[in-house]
Amino acid sequence: MPQTRRTAALLRDVTGLVLALEEEDPAVDGLIAALERAKADLTESVPADATPRVGEAASGDGRVYLDHAFDIGAYNPCFPEYAIEVDGEQAHGTVTFPVAYEGPPGLVHGGFLALFFDCVAQHHNCEVGVAGKTTSLALRFRRPTPLLTPLTFTLERSVKDDRIHSSGSLSVDDAVACQAEVDAIAGVRSNLPEVSPRREISS
């Protein structure tokens, strides 16, 4: 929903601003109070059962499951945002990591780089229609990856039997900062379990 996307972007940005503060700020007190009110109100609006409505639970009383195949960062602030272009077995794109993803000073935490490559490799797989769960993920850190800097990435994938192998690299200008190897099960999206859509709430 548009609200979900706007909230994700704001939470990500505000997290970076709060982390950069030098001292306590009245604006943060207001933010905390607003978030506490929102938490109480939203708790009343969502299903009590946190089980996702997928597969055998699709007709149950659990929560809606949002598709994690494409652009997760657009609606979930815990994931990075990126732009990707897919051309068959190859893909490329751009990403800029904000302060919320900092590890060493001024640099991206390596765990977020792993998360990023898992996201873009599976996005690539789903875009071409053959995808499945990640079975292995290996990274090689070639040089530090800076925050707040436009980065470029490339992906190349191949399918053999029931496995997909993706190789990727993330670069600062023309210097490779990180390389990744991602393996996944080769499945067909149409064979995935049923996912219950959002439900209308009667007033």
What is the tens place of the pLDDT at every residue in 129-179? 888 899 999 999 999 999 999 999 999 999 999 999 999 999 999 999 999
Q: Can you read off the two tokens belonging to residue 19? A: 């982390």
Residue with more model confidence, 160 or 198:
160
- Sketch out the chain's domains with CATH numbers: 1-203 (3.10.129.10)
How high is the pLDDT of residue 131?
A: 83
How high is the pLDDT of residue 202?
A: 62
Task: Identify which of 168, 101, 177, 102 has the alpha carbon closest to the alpha carbon of residue 141.
Answer: 177
- Say if residues 125 and 166 touch (Cβ distance below 8 Å): yes
Q: What is the pLDDT of residues 84-105, one digit of tens each?
A: 999 999 999 999 999 999 999 9
Task: Identify which of 167, 156, 164 has the alpha carbon closest to the alpha carbon of residue 187.
Answer: 164
Q: Is 64 left (phi over 0), alpha (psi -120 to 50) or beta?
A: beta
Tell whether pTM > 0.85: yes
Q: 3-state class of 112 per DSSP? A: helix
Residue with tokens 């059962």, as numbered in its chain: 49
Q: Can you read off the two tokens belonging to residue 101? A: 């993803």
What is the side-by-side strand order in the sheet with 151-160?
A: 82-87, 90-95, 151-160, 163-172, 175-185, 134-141
